[in-house]
A and B are shown apart, each in its own frame.
Chain A
């Protein structure tokens, strides 16, 4: 019998530290590849800027269509970056490591979604008041637009993550991804754009914002688990 003791298990990992490490890693990688971030912001800006040019300078019309167009542009911009959520990790083997981590996968997925939202959702929220000026939206409506985009893009990132995980590694995954998640994006779009319109027509945005929050809570509760399950299937 040799007397060498079996190497002891590593110290119990702190989950917060692990999640923070994943979040900062993703942000750091994105900071060094700025083209991804630029694509999203540029797309949102260009689409929202082209509509007033095409439609003409009639304030009434622009104000009427503004919230809808801004919301559709934000939704498509968020959609644009969704496919990249897991694909880089899948290609370089990091995803295997996440699946073999001692941290529950849904939490790791949530950290990745958070990083993705900070890079593709938050910039849209920040940019939106500037674009809202083109549609002559009043100040109050602008505030509601930012609030609904803040809540709504989070839901979009969460729901999109499930689609990204389901289509991981497939051919023409971008197309499949949009087919899968666009129907699920519709409630967010309806309540988001509806809130701004309701605010402008004097009805108050309260109801729509509450429904938007409800969608977010549901997505927050379900999507990380669904995406984690889909990732396990994708790597099988």
Chain B
């Protein structure tokens, strides 16, 4: 969970003059961890709307519907999230990425529990984010090929 508690041994971490623990840094960050931050009782639409509002974004209902159909959940937007499958829940969280306008995305295993179609739509979303000049850090157990050149950090050396 390093976006929460970055503790460099020496010095300080900052991005465009915002120290990494500050509210200014948070305003430009979209973090998605293992917990999807979805409320089981609310529908996908309501989850996305309240999620965006908590990030300080005002999104139109049309934008929410467009994001949901982009990840293939068009017919399920009004169902409570608790009746959705694990993969569908993850796709609701992906729709949150579509709505995000944060320049920096930090995603923890975004490709886990996704079927092939959802994987390629996530790749499309990530490519679009990068093409618009966004920054992206994500972890994965699979080899993911994105259009933009990126740097692979192999964390296997720390596993032993």
Which residues of A are at the interface with B, using a C-beta cutoff of 8 A? 4-14, 17-18, 20-22, 24-25, 28-29, 32-33, 91-94, 96-104, 235-236
Nearest-neighbour CB distance to chain B for A56, whole angstroms, equals 44
8 Å CB interface, B139-159 against A:
none
Q: Are A6 and B103 touching (Cβ within 8 A)?
A: yes
Which residues of B are at the interface with A, using a C-beta cutoff of 8 A? 1, 3-5, 23-24, 26-29, 31, 33-42, 46, 49-51, 53-58, 80, 101-103, 129, 131-134
What CA separation (Å) do A24 and B47 show in the bound complex? 12
Q: Are A97 and B51 touching (Cβ within 8 A)?
A: yes
What CA separation (Å) do A11 and B53 show in the bound complex? 12
Nearest CB to that of B82 among chain A residues?
A32
Nearest CB to that of A89 among chain B residues?
B37
Supplied contacts A18-B54, A93-B37, 17 more A-B pairs, CB within 8 Å: A4-B132, A9-B28, A10-B28, A11-B57, A12-B27, A13-B55, A20-B53, A25-B39, A25-B50, A28-B46, A28-B50, A91-B35, A94-B35, A96-B1, A97-B31, A102-B26, A236-B4
The SS class assigned to the A binding surface is loop
Given contacts A28-B41, A93-B35, contact A102 B4 (CB under 8 A): no
Nearest-neighbour CB distance to chain A for B47, whole angstroms, equals 9
Given contacts A9-B28, A24-B50, contact A18 B56 (CB under 8 A): yes
Nearest CB to that of B96 among chain A residues?
A97
| Total A-B contacts with CB atoms under 8 angstroms apart | 118
Q: Are B41 and A101 touching (Cβ within 8 A)?
A: no
- 6 A-B pairs closest in CB distance: A93-B35, A13-B56, A21-B53, A102-B27, A32-B41, A25-B50
Q: Are B27 and A10 touching (Cβ within 8 A)?
A: yes
What CA separation (Å) do A25 and B1 show in the bound complex? 25
Other-chain contact of A102, B24, B42, B134 (Cβ < 8 Å): B24
What CA separation (Å) do A22 and B42 show in the bound complex? 13
Other-chain contact of A13, B49, B57, B80, B134 (Cβ < 8 Å): B57
Given contacts A9-B27, A235-B4, contact A28 B42 (CB under 8 A): yes
What CA separation (Å) do A92 and B50 show in the bound complex? 15
Nearest CB to that of B34 among chain A residues?
A93
Q: Are A100 and B4 touching (Cβ within 8 A)?
A: yes
